[in-house]
């Protein structure tokens, strides 16, 4: 039954991704909708208009930037709450700034399906990352309301717009979904943003509570929840390469974020001889290049170590390492810096392999720092294990995606939706601590994301909304 073709995408960015096109069984092929039942007005036209509208809600001039509980975030959350009301949902905002909209369906006390994504963004973001999942879920509920089917739902359905998935403001990620999943520790209230404001300060300034009691209230009771579903842009090139609008996520890579601080001896750029410097900038450059070499050829390094013998393959599935943020003090062209800090973002499908790479990086880091007489510290800011999506939920989502693709193409598409791993992090990672999770990916142009160039075809926005509508109707 589950025969599979293994495809390797050929473009350079796609070459690290393997896609398993699996055959799922168990859901009827028979559902055929007339064009008027496809709700193009709600699922495509209005959804696309809302994506553009939210894309304009920004704290910055000239680019999209909407981080956790910023003024733009608050405006966006009010807008999303209104759209949830418009879709027939009962709404509220919780103590971590997450926006919720719920409909009870036929049985208010049955386990609820949670469906969501995030409305915070990276800096200089596109319009779709996170927002697409929230807007397509609201659109699907609204289409069901128009169909007069909202109160027929077998179980409660709750749409959640999470407040922080990107982790830009506090470098922590998943503040919103971790709180709902009950895995956010009280010590998280003490983390601070670049301005020095703690999470507690920021919550209080937004009239939100920051107490152990509020964390207990935020946490959902696992016995009240049936599962969590998330729609998200793929953020990679595979679906476009395969020519399919939607894909099913089989799992999400684990990730670690580190903050490396390199302290040196600040001094005059014109007077200190090269041999007498303790330059944290040059040391950071060596560390960053070493990280790149390690992640390109991990086996070369890890095989040397007894404890890493099990990881003797030439590559580690999905291993990627990035330094995306660097700060220099004091930052002037005629000053040898006193201190450099930089971020490390490291991901892999295999948690043990990810730990081994971090261990190797730290070992080499201290050696390099000793040799250069600079003082280095490494702080772990975030760590999340890889997540496997629930097979039955994934199979159900595959049926919903395939049906939507077929309906929109007028019966043309018959093949199974591709099944893939996610290298990007998602709220589903945190939600997997609460309940079973499933995800759908939506094709995006050129695989580009975390960029204003991010783009999803209007027909694919429609496919996403229709797939969720199909899924909700078949619960
Ligand atoms: C979220 O977008 C992440 O994977 O960093
Ligand atoms: Mn996202
Ligand atoms: Mn993102």
User: 234: CA distance to ligand 2 center in Å?
Assistant: 9
Greatest pairwise CA separation for the chain in angstroms: 80
In this structure, the residue with its CA closest to atom 1 of ligand 1 is 425
Of 474, 470, 462, the C-alpha closest to 42 is: 462
User: 273: CA distance to ligand 1 center in Å?
Assistant: 42
> Alpha helices, DSSP H only, in 147-198?
175-181
Mean pLDDT by 10 residues, the chain (475 residues): 31 38 45 74 98 98 98 98 98 98 97 98 98 98 96 97 96 93 97 95 98 97 98 97 96 96 98 98 98 95 65 74 97 98 96 95 97 98 93 98 93 84 96 98 97 98 98 95
From the CA of 449, which ligand is nearest? 3
Judge if the beta carbon of residue 167 lies within 6 A of ligand 1: no
User: 98: CA distance to ligand 2 center in Å?
Assistant: 15
CATH topology of domain 31-252+387-474: Aminopeptidase (3.40.630)
pLDDT at 20: 40
Judge if the beta carbon of residue 133 lies within 6 A of ligand 1: no
pLDDT at 95: 98
pLDDT at 65: 98
Judge if the beta carbon of residue 428 lies within 6 A of ligand 1: no
Judge if the beta carbon of residue 442 lies within 6 A of ligand 1: no
Q: Where in the chain is the domain with CATH 3.30.70.360?
A: 254-304+316-384
Judge if the beta carbon of residue 240 lies within 6 A of ligand 1: no
Whether the bond into 435 is cis, omega within 30 of 0:
no
Judge if the beta carbon of residue 424 lies within 6 A of ligand 1: yes
DSSP 309-332: GGG-SSS-TT-EEE---EEEES--
How much is the pTM? 0.84
Judge if the beta carbon of residue 425 lies within 6 A of ligand 1: yes
From the CA of 118, which ligand is nearest? 2
CATH topology of domain 254-304+316-384: Alpha-Beta Plaits (3.30.70)
User: 5: CA distance to ligand 2 center in Å?
Assistant: 28
Partners of 161 in the beta sheet? Answer: 99, 117
pLDDT at 411: 76
User: Counting atoms of ligand 1 from 1, which one is nearest the CA of 449?
Assistant: 2
pLDDT at 171: 82
Judge if the beta carbon of residue 130 lies within 6 A of ligand 1: no
User: 345: CA distance to ligand 2 center in Å?
Assistant: 15
Q: Where in the chain is the domain with CATH 3.40.630.10?
A: 31-252+387-474
Strands 112-118 and 225-233: parallel
How far apart, in whole angstroms, are the C-alpha atoms of residue 442 and residue 239?
8
């Amino acid at each position: 039954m589950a025969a599979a073709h293994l495809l390797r995408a050929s473009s350079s960015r796609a070459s690290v991704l393997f896609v398993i096109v699996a055959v799922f069984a168990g859901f009827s092929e028979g559902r055929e909708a007339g064009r008027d039942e496809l709700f193009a007005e709600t699922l495509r036209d209005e959804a696309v208009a809302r994506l553009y509208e939210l894309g304009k809600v920004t704290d910055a001039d000239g680019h999209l930037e909407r981080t956790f509980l910023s003024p733009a975030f608050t405006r966006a959350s009010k807008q999303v709450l209104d759209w949830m009301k418009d879709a027939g949902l009962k709404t509220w905002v919780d103590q971590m700034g997450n926006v919720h909209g719920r409909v009870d369906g036929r049985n208010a006390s049955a386990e609820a399906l949670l469906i969501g994504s995030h409305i915070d963004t990276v800096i200089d973001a596109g319009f779709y990352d996170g927002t697409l999942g929230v807007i397509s879920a609201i659109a699907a509920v609204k289409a069901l309301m128009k169909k007069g089917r909202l109160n027929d739902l077998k179980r409660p359905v709750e749409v959640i717009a999470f407040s922080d998935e990107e982790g830009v403001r506090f470098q922590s990620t998943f503040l919103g979904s971790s709180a709902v999943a009950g895995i956010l520790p009280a010590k998280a209230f003490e983390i601070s943003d670049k301005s020095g404001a703690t999470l507690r300060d920021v919550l209080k300034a937004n009239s939100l509570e920051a107490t152990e009691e509020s964390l207990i209230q935020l946490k959902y009771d696992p016995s009240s929840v049936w599962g969590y579903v998330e729609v998200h842009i793929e953020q990679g090139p595979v679906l476009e390469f395969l020519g399919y609008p939607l894909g099913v996520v089989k799992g999400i890579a684990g990730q670690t974020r580190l903050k490396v601080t390199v302290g040196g001896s600040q001094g005059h750029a014109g007077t200190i001889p090269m041999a007498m410097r303790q330059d944290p900038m040059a040391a950071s450059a060596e560390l960053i290049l070493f990280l790149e070499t390690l992640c390109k050829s991990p086996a070369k390094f890890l095989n040397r170590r007894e404890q890493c013998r099990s990881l003797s393959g030439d590559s580690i599935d999905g291993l990627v390492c990035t330094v995306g943020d660097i700060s220099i003090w004091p930052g002037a062209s005629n000053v040898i810096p006193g201190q450099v800090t930089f971020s490390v973002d490291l991901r892999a499908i295999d948690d043990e392999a990810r730990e081994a790479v971090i261990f190797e990086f730290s070992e080499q880091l201290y050696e390099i720092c000793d040799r250069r007489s600079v003082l280095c510290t490494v702080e772990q800011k975030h760590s999340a294990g890889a997540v496997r999506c629930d097979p039955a939920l994934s199979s159900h989502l595959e049926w919903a995606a395939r049906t939507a693709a077929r309906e929109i193409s007028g019966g043309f598409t018959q093949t199974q939706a591709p099944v893939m791993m996610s290298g990007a992090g998602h709220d589903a990672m945190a939600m997997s601590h609460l309940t079973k999770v499933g995800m759908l990916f939506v094709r995006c142009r050129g695989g580009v994301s975390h960029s204003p160039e991010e783009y999803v075809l209007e027909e694919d926005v429609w496919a996403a909304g229709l797939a969720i509508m199909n899924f909700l109707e078949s619960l």
